[in-house]
Each structure stands twice: as C-alpha cells, then as structure tokens.
A = this chain, B = another copy of it.
Amino acid sequence: MATAETRDALVAGAMATLREKGHAHASAREIAGRAGCNQALIFYHFGSVERLLLAALDRVAELRRERYQALVDESRNLKELVAAARTVFEEDLELGHTAVLVEMIAAAQANAALRPEVAERLRPWRGFAADALRGTPAARLGPPEELAHGVVAMYLGLELLAVLDDDPAPAAALFERADSLATLLDLFSLRRRS
C-alpha cells in the first residue's frame, strides 16, 4: 500500500478511537486494529502514538476549515456569516470533532510536553470564532479574541456534559434559548455592577 493511504487509514482510526473510546484507550494496537494494519506501522510512519494523535487533530482542523470556507463562500451578508459560524460549531458537536478536541485537551493537562502542541492546534478554533465576530456589532463589546474564548469554552463544556448523560436534549434546548442564556449571564455579572 502507498504511504499516503496507510497514513490516512491510521489517522482515521485515531480519530474514531479518540471519539469513541477516549485518549486513555487510544493505544497503538487499538488504533491499528481499526485501520486494519499492524501496530508497528504507527511508529514507522509517525514515530510515536502521540504524534499520530496530533496528526488526527490536524486532520479534524483541516476538515473543519474546508467546511468553514464552503459556508463562508455561500454567505451573502453579515447575518448569514454569523449563522455560518454557529452552523460550523453545531456540526462539530454532531461529527465528534469537539469530542476529539476535548480528549486531547484533557490529555494535555497530564502531559506538559503535549500542552503547547495542543494549544497551537486549538488556535484555529479560537481564530475562527474571532474572525466570525470581527467587524460585527459584537466587536465593539470587547476584543473578538476575548469573546471567542467564551464561545469556545461553552461548546467544549457542552460536549463534556453531552457525553455524560448521552442525551443531546439539554444542549439543543440551550441553543433554542441562546438569548435567554445571554440574559442569564448578564444576571451573573450583577456583583460587579452593584
């Protein structure tokens, strides 16, 4: 088999394993089993399991970027652009991209060497959210990067909770009440304003 095909199969296996079994069970033998090849190939092609998992994270970011570009190209005005941003985030949740991200972030806590690598690969997420805000009315409320931090945090948290009681209903209901949640957050800032 060509190198590219084997690499793709391994990356796909790594993505699926991270999504379904989590980082703790993303062993070389498990991933290779899903890819239908020998576990030694991971070390031949990627050098270590960790590098393969980071390659999987890169692949998720790439898929995400392509989808984002397509939606942006379709948008004809600011309102549609903002809608596109929300669509991409919701699709991330459905496709398991957020799950892969959460797994790698959680693993990075226990591994100092992994931390900057994951942080670097998270930048597109924040950057994407910030881009969607730049030039919109929301931008006057604060630096887009700062606001984007909160948006990304909420999506990561929703993924964690969704995994827990495998019922997407609460998250979906939340999206339907996004304006209510906004008012709620205003309420939580009472202390500072009083």
Contact = CB atoms under 8 A, between A and B. Distances in A.
Task: List the number of copies, as a whole number.
Answer: 2
Interface string A114-143: 010011001000000000010011100110
A22 interface: yes
Interface in A93-123: 99, 102-103, 105-110, 115, 118-119, 122
Contacts of A133: 184, 187
User: Taking chain A's interface residues, is the majority helix, strand, or loop, or is none over half, making it mixed?
Assistant: helix
Contact of A157 (B138, B154, B185, B189): B154
A174 B144 CA distance: 11
Contacts of A187: 82, 133, 136-138
Interface residues of A, number: 72
Contacts of A182: 181-186, 189
Interface stretch (A32-40, A46-54, A57-65, A162-170): A162-170
Given A25-B110, A185-B185, 15 more contacts: A23-B110, A24-B24, A85-B188, A86-B188, A86-B191, A105-B163, A109-B163, A138-B184, A138-B187, A141-B177, A141-B180, A146-B170, A149-B173, A150-B174, A153-B174
